[in-house]
Structures are given as C-alpha cells and as structure tokens.
Amino acid sequence: MTGSLKELTARLKEQTAADRKEMEMIITAELANLKENLQSAAKNALSTIKNDMEREARAAKKTALLQIKILSWGFGRRWLLTGAVAVAVMLGLTGGGWGLMKLAEYRINSLDQKWAELSREKMRLETTLSQLQAQTWGLTLHEASEGRFIILSPKSTPRTGWTINGRPAVKVE
C-alpha cells in the first residue's frame, strides 16, 4: 500500500511538473507570438513613416525650389538659393525625425506594458499553483489495477474507521 502511495505521489508530482512546463511553454509561445506581431507592426509603421517622410521631403523641396526661384528673381544671388534649399531640407528632415522618434517611443512603451502584463499573469499563475499544492497537504491520488488509493505525505499516519457525514474517511495524523 505504501508503494502505491509513493507511486501516486510521484505521478502527481510528475503531472504537476508537466502542467507547470506546459504553462511555461504556452506563456513562452504567447510571448514569442507577441514579439513577432509587435516587430511586424513596428516594421510596417517604420515603412509608412519612411514613405511619408520621403513624400514630405519631395513636397518641401518642391516648395523650397519654388520659393528660391521667386527669391532669386528678386535678389539674383546664388547663396540665397542654396540657403533656402538647405533650410527646407533641414526642416523636412527634422520634422520627419521627430515623428519617427515619437512613434518609436510609443511602440517601446507599448511593448514594456505588454511585457509587464504578461509577467504579472505568470506570477499570478505560479501563485495559484503554489496555493493548490499547499492546500492538498501533500496528499496525492493514485489509481492502479488493485484499486484507488490516497497517498499521504511521508510523515503522516493514517487512521481508518472514521466516517464523516455518513461517508468513510481516513484521519491523517
């Protein structure tokens, strides 16, 4: 009978370890999936920003060239044309860079928040598992060809002959 209790305890420990490993695998898979989705979204956003920046740079350049042409007619100096183009390009690049930095900051904050949320969920699951293990008092169930058994913790002594609410019970001391 003690051999069966030991087998039941071993089986329950194996099942608990397997369940914990399965939860860790699920969490790891979810984190990997989240990482891939976030990376894909970040790449798409970066591509969109790059295209927008290029379009804005072309428009700014076109506007700057038009303004330079008007200014050069009035002043006729080459340095004015060069300065205006440089200012327009710098404004375009600065605005685009600022927008890209804001998007990157938002994406990083989103990733940090999701990571923190997943970490809290993992801790909650581990706490629940610990509570379940503590509530069983080290008891495990075992079913074999000889019958069904309750495996007690190693230092427990079973006392049979008890009934609770008309049902047979084993007192553990």
Residue whose tokens read 């060069």: 82
User: Backbone phi, then psi, for 133, in 5-degree steps?
Assistant: -65, -40
Q: What is the pLDDT of residue 116?
A: 92
What is the share, in percent, of the chain residues with pLDDT greater than 70? Answer: 91
What is the pTM for the complete model shown?
0.34
Q: What is the pLDDT of residue 74?
A: 59
The pLDDT tens digits of the residues spanning 84-101 come to 788 888 888 888 888 888
Structure tokens at 91: 């404004």
pLDDT bracket for residue 76 (50, 70, 90): low
User: Backbone phi, then psi, for 151, in 5-degree steps?
Assistant: -95, 125
User: Backbone phi, then psi, for 145, in 5-degree steps?
Assistant: -65, -25
Q: What is the mean pLDDT of residues 115-136?
A: 88
Q: What is the pLDDT of residue 21?
A: 92
Distance of CA 104 to the CA centre of its chain: 18
- The chain-wide mean pLDDT, for the chain, equals 84
Q: What is the pLDDT of residue 78?
A: 66
Host H or E run for residue 100: helix 78-135
The pLDDT tens digits of the residues spanning 2-30 come to 668 888 888 889 999 998 999 999 999 98
Quick check: 132 pLDDT over 60?
yes
